[in-house]
Amino acid sequence: MGAGGRMQVSPSPKKSETETLKRVPCETPPFTVGQLKKAIPPHCFKRSIPRSFSYLIWDIIIASCFYYVATTYFPLLPHPLSYFAWPLYWACQGCVLTGVWVIAHECGHHAFSDYQWLDDTVGLIFHSFLLVPYFSWKYSHRRHHSNTGSLERDEVFVPKKKSDIKWYGKYLNNPLGRTVMLTVQFTLGWPLYLAFNVSGRPYDVGFACHFHPNAPIYNDRERLQIYVSDAGILAVCYGLYRYAAAQGLASMVCLYGVPLLIVNGFLVLITYLQHTHPSLPHYDSSEWDWLRGALATVDRDYGILNKVFHNITDTHVAHHLFSTMPHYHAMEATKAIKPILGDYYQFDGTPVFKAMWREAKECIYVEPDRQGEKKGVFWYNNKL
């Protein structure tokens, strides 16, 4: 597979929680995107069709093996053992399919190959299989990358200002309330975002829905491809209907539905933790620029799942800086730019579920900077 995709980023020195939560710099960086790109070995920007397909094919083989074992051997298990076998299948299959999701996401960034038609074909097939409207997501996600950290123009996980917190917010600011909010977020958050733009950028006019070709998210040149995305989703839904009619609804839910819920949950969790952290700033239009916005992200450590998820988890800063770079070079690129980024690079090795709970507790809304003179810089707070 080549050394570039397997080399490890030297671990960051172990930080105390106080150091981890220390605010990152919000001033204009003393380096440019050009200087960062120059520090990265040129081969990291090269896309290889055989190599890109090797990761996708490997994921498909593993997912197919899980499917074969579940359909061939699970019916032969004594009844009590099935209660252990199915959850294990759901967890493993959900993780592997999340890796497939990441590769389709790379296609949307034109990071899979040098051919846009090939990227779009692969992305459309595999995102549709996971009930993601490929072109719809591609265009809204591209705008997220163009406007990361902007309170006015970012597309998703746009934090609320304190004045926008609903009256019932203070009643959810407790362990039970956070548990309910996280449960809803990780089970329904993704379909609610696609269908109703929940947690997305507010639009003054129109119905902001990823399935609606005339949604204000898209311009006139993009609307035809939204129909193509919808056709892909409908084709997969029809296939699932035929499968359920032939094999039973329970079989379809167990083999496909529950793993898909896990994929959706991981997708929301990964994105949430990449863009939600007490140390990260957000900016209004008076302070925002693309580079500072792109740096308002954090790399996380998911252990062995870093590899299963093709390192989208622990190389997200580099991904936001150079989104057309293939995932199998992102580790090497991260290692190359860390010395230049310095304090602008944020890595948090806090265990994922501990970090999830902490961020849900600490990052409720954003308010203007009160420690400096930059009133267009906003930081997270939780005092209601």
Instruction: Kindly write down the DSSP assignment for every residue of 8-51, as one continuous string.
Output: PPPPPPP--HHHHTSPPP-SPPSS-HHHHHHHS-GGGG---HHH
- End-to-end CA separation in angstroms for the chain: 51
In a domain, 32, yes or no: no
In a domain, 365, yes or no: yes
CA 211 to chain centre: 19
List, as own/partner pairs, every contact residues 82-87 make where C-beta atoms lie below 8 angstroms and the sequence separation is at least 24, other chains included: 86/254
Please give the model's pTM, rounded to 2 decimal places: 0.93
pLDDT of residue 13: 55
In a domain, 29, yes or no: no
Residue 334 burial by Cβ neighbours in a 10 Å radius (0-12, 13-18, 19+): buried
In a domain, 31, yes or no: no
Q: Map residue 377 onto helix, strand or coil.
A: strand
> HSE (CB half, 13 Å, CA atoms) of 199?
21
Cα 313 to Cα 316: distance, rounded to the nearest angstrom? 6
In a domain, 269, yes or no: yes
Cα 375 to Cα 368: distance, rounded to the nearest angstrom? 5
CA–CA distances in Å: residue 48 to residues 55, 73, 122, 145, 240: 11, 38, 14, 23, 33
In a domain, 26, yes or no: no
The ranges of the chain with pLDDT < 70 are: 1-17, 371-373
Cα 7 to Cα 113: distance, rounded to the nearest angstrom? 21
pLDDT of residue 369: 82
Count of structural domains within the chain: 1
pLDDT of residue 374: 74
User: Which residues contact residue 61 at a Cβ distance below 8 angstroms, ignoring those fewer than 6 apart?
Assistant: none
CA–CA distances in Å: residue 328 to residues 16, 23, 112, 174, 318: 30, 30, 10, 41, 12
Q: What is the domain range of residue 164?
A: 45-381
In a domain, 38, yes or no: no
In a domain, 326, yes or no: yes
Token pair 């362990």 is at which residue? 175
Cα 198 to Cα 193: distance, rounded to the nearest angstrom? 4
User: Which residues contact residue 71 at a Cβ distance below 8 angstroms, ignoring those fewer than 6 apart?
Assistant: 255
Say if CB 269 and CB 352 are below 8 A apart.
yes
